[in-house]
């Protein structure tokens, strides 16, 4: 029987590629997606499509009270606008930062993993073509893993958890090429932070800009471009 893994799946390029990699590497993959009042909660639908496409073993959708993340522009209740056509090379952490999001998401994955007997957790964190979020950096991931192995029964018993970040040091174009080589269909992914009412991507938020740049640098046509 394959080794069980828990993966954080949002419906975007990075988590989809990470999931495809985990499946390819022979893990029995269990996906976790979060509903937290995000403006782009349509991403949950994309996550469900990816689960079907990748034949992922199970999928749970966890509700997080929107008040926890209220200060982020990604929160539909924040009253803040998603920045458009921003200079993504700006080193300041943008208003789309969600307070402690990956910490909370990884904590859920950790509890779920320990409960179900998984010791491998996958997250599509990426510290190259990203928006400068502190919870996507390798030093944070290492600190989380260390903390997890000090604060859990499995960890202190020597049956340690591993946080896998196969994309952490890849450029977006390299991620896309990896996904294509794994047979991933990127038309099943959504990157936009602020989709239009008809579901099309805005094309101007950080996430849309990084996606466009990634496909261009990979010299690949984005299969979602027709949709958008």
User: Where are the extended beta strands (E) located within 43-124?
Assistant: 58-63, 120-122
Q: How far is CA 44 from CA 35, 37, 119, 135, 185, in A?
A: 7, 11, 25, 21, 17
Minimum distance between the CB of residue 113 and its own copies, rounded to whole angstroms?
8
| Binding residues vs its own copies (CB under 8 A) | 60, 62-63, 65, 67-72, 93, 97-104, 107-108, 110-112, 114-116, 134-135, 137, 139-140, 143-144, 146-148, 150-153, 155-157
Minimum distance between the CB of residue 154 and its own copies, rounded to whole angstroms?
8
Helix, strand, coil share (%) of the chain residues, nearest 5:
40, 10, 50
Sequence-separated (6 or more) residues with CB below 8 Å from residue 182 = 17, 20, 21, 24
Minimum distance between the CB of residue 123 and its own copies, rounded to whole angstroms?
12
Give the nearer residue to its own copies in terms of CB position, either 30 or 211: 30
Q: How far is CA 204 from CA 87, 93, 123, 194, in A?
A: 11, 17, 25, 9
Give the nearer residue to its own copies in terms of CB position, either 122 or 144: 144
Give the nearer residue to its own copies in terms of CB position, either 115 or 226: 115
Minimum distance between the CB of residue 150 and its own copies, rounded to whole angstroms?
5
Q: Is 7 helix (H, G, I), strand (E, B) or coil?
A: strand
Give the nearer residue to its own copies in terms of CB position, either 70 or 180: 70
Give the nearer residue to its own copies in terms of CB position, either 103 or 225: 103
């Amino acid at each position: 029987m394959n080794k069980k893994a828990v993966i954080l799946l949002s419906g975007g390029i990075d988590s989809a590629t990470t999931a495809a990699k985990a499946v390819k590497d022979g893990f029995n993959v269990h996906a976790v997606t979060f509903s937290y009042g995000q403006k782009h909660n349509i991403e949950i639908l994309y996550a469900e499509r990816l689960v079907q496409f990748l034949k992922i073993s199970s999928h749970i959708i966890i509700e997080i009270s929107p008040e926890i993340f209220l200060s982020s522009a990604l929160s539909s209740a924040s009253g803040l606008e998603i920045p458009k056509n921003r200079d993504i090379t700006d080193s300041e952490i943008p208003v789309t930062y969600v307070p402690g999001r990956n910490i909370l998401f990884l904590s859920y994955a950790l509890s779920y993993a320990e409960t179900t007997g998984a010791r491998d957790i996958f997250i599509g964190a990426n510290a190259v073509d990203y928006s400068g979020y502190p919870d996507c950096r390798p030093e944070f991931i290492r600190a989380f893993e260390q903390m997890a192995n000090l604060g859990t029964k499995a960890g202190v018993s020597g049956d340690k958890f591993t946080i896998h970040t196969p994309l952490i040091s890849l450029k977006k174009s390299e991620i896309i090429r990896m996904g294509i080589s794994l047979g991933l269909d990127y038309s099943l992914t959504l990157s936009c932070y602020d989709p239009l009412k008809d579901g099309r991507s805005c094309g101007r938020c950080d996430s849309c800009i990084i996606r466009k740049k990634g496909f261009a640098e990979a010299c690949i046509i984005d299969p979602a471009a027709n949709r958008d």
